[in-house]
Amino acid sequence: MAIDVAAVRRSFPILDRELDGHRLVYLDSAASSLTPEPVLDAMDRYYRWSRSNVNRGVYPLAEEATDLYEGARTTLAGFLDADPVGVVFTKNATEACNLLAYGFVRAHLGPDDVLLSTVMEHHANLVPFTQAAAAVGAEVRHVPITPDGLLDLDAAAELLADGRVTFAAFVHVSNVLGTINDVERLTRMVKDANDRAIVHVDGAQAAPHLPVSFRDLGIDSYAIPGHKMLGPTGIGALVARPELLERMEPFLTGGDMIRDVTLTGATWNDVPHRFEAGTPMIAEAAGLAAAVGVLEGYGMAAVRSHERDLTAQLLDALGTVAGVTVHGPKDVDLRGGAVSFALDGIHPHDVGAMLGSRGGCVRVGHHCTKPLMRCLDVAATTRASSYVYNDVDDLEPLVDGLEAAAAFFAR
């Protein structure tokens, strides 16, 4: 079933907003997605109807809250084809990466180990691991990109050849280039080079937009943010093989994550609860489960196909604007809906201001990918990114705004 954008839009109240008389043209879903009614309702219902803490009370209301929270874990696991025991709720994708960096890399790696990363990582999937590597004295190697913005897998093969890479962390879909990386293939390469290696993937731009099977990817862990997949802010997850979680040290300690506590020590609860210290984000979990329900209602294959078609039209539209250079793959089968570009001679800040004055929301800046900006030899880019509520009628304001910026800032 194709996405019925008009129907989809009706469930996103914010799309009724006008800004200075302009319709809201939201092309920044790669930063954060909009929120549909069912997600708002689910959170509202928790606060109005089921409000209580989880895992503690024996009264029915508390059981209801616990069911909501644990139900969200099962729902998310189902959505990603993963084991619910391997799902740890975190605040966002960044925290999921940090949990792994602290719980696994810092605890288990040493000076003989090598970490594999790439030059296209978001800081969230880079800094926690470079910091951890520095702390344990491990080397970090970076897979470069080809001129069309794909991971250079020949170079990766060389980096893996000595069999010393024991941990790899790379992104599924680039938030700047849009590139969809061949996770299965790179994972196989890493594991063929060293069968003890752990592979972690940043799914922040993939889980919201593509059908994802954690099992089929063959990886060990996957980080996702709720707020980019129609869910609320304040919740994300580390989705992992339970065996990996078993090997990890707790990152935050305190209530709920313990089995027994004495005045001087403690033993840890089972996974995944071992990694969820204190009162969790209950309303947000309910909201995230509702978001998954909405996405499953559309069908992820339909979401992908809608965005693929729209991205093709976006690339065509950008091609009509003089002075636009698109970064990343031009083949829409190899890319997601985040499209970064330069407008010749005009700084992205100025482009963003012009679009913003016309109701257009795009992201300008380095997109938390400074090493990639250096590779592309740019300081910043303008990025338009689409989702289920975008359609061709959003492309015209973008093109008009870019042409207006070119005229306004012409020297």
Ligand X SMILES: Cc1ncc(COP(=O)(O)O)c(C=O)c1O
Q: Which residues are catalytic?
A: 368
Q: Is 117 in the site for ligand X (CB under 6 A)?
A: no
Instruction: Specify the 3-state DSSP secondary structure of 165.
Output: strand
Closest to ligand X by CB, 106 or 367? 367
Contact 114, 166 (CB under 8 A): yes
> Which residues, other chains included, contact 256 with Cβ-Cβ below 8 Å and sequence gap of 6+?
55, 269, 273, 276, 277, 278, 279, 280
Min CB(349)–another protein separation in Å: 4
Min CB(410)–another protein separation in Å: 8
Which of 94, 98, 117, 187: binder of ligand X (CB under 6 A)? Answer: 94
Query: Which segments within 113-191 are labelled E, that is strand?
Result: 114-118, 139-143, 165-171
Min CB(93)–ligand X separation in Å: 4
Q: Is 409 in the site for another protein (CB under 8 A)?
A: yes
Which of 4, 56, 370, 392: binder of another protein (CB under 8 A)? Answer: 370
Provide the terminal-to-terminal Cα distance of the chain, rounded to the nearest Å: 48
What the block records as the tokens of 129 is 């691991």
- The option from ligand X, another protein, none interacting with 125 (CB < 5 to 8 A, set by class) reads ligand X
Q: Is 18 in the site for another protein (CB under 8 A)?
A: no
Q: What CA–CA distance (Å, rounded) separates 346 from 406? A: 7
Residue type, 3: I
- Tokens 């549909």 found at: 36
DSSP state, 145?
B
DSSP per residue over 252-315, as a string?
Answer: S-SSSSEEEE-SS-EEEPPTTGGG--SS--HHHHHHHHHHHHHHHHH-HHHHHHHHHHHHHHHH
Which of 277, 334, 378, 399: binder of another protein (CB under 8 A)? Answer: 378
- The option from ligand X, another protein, none interacting with 408 (CB < 5 to 8 A, set by class) reads another protein
> Which residues, other chains included, contact 263 with Cβ-Cβ below 8 Å and sequence gap of 6+?
none
- Tokens 């963003």 found at: 352
Binding mask 136-175 for ligand X (x = CB under 6 A): -----------------------------------x---x
Q: Is 196 in the site for another protein (CB under 8 A)?
A: no
> Which residues, other chains included, contact 147 with Cβ-Cβ below 8 Å and sequence gap of 6+?
none
Which of 266, 347, 399, 400: binder of another protein (CB under 8 A)? Answer: 347
Bridge partners (DSSP) of residue 346 are 343
Closest to ligand X by CB, 222 or 358? 222
Which of 40, 353, 361, 375: binder of another protein (CB under 8 A)? Answer: 353
Min CB(207)–ligand X separation in Å: 11
Which of 29, 33, 181, 205: binder of ligand X (CB under 6 A)? Answer: 205
Min CB(360)–another protein separation in Å: 12
Min CB(10)–ligand X separation in Å: 27
What the block records as the tokens of 99 is 């949990």
Q: Is 202 in the site for ligand X (CB under 6 A)?
A: yes
Which of 43, 68, 77, 93: binder of ligand X (CB under 6 A)? Answer: 93
Bridge partners (DSSP) of residue 169 are 200
Q: Is 365 in the site for another protein (CB under 8 A)?
A: yes
Binding mask 35-74 for another protein (x = CB under 8 A): ----------------------------------------
Q: Which helix (H) or strand (E) holds 152?
A: none
What the block records as the tokens of 79 is 């959505």
Which positions touch another protein (CB under 8 A)? 20, 347-350, 353-354, 356-357, 365-366, 370, 373, 378-380, 408-409, 411
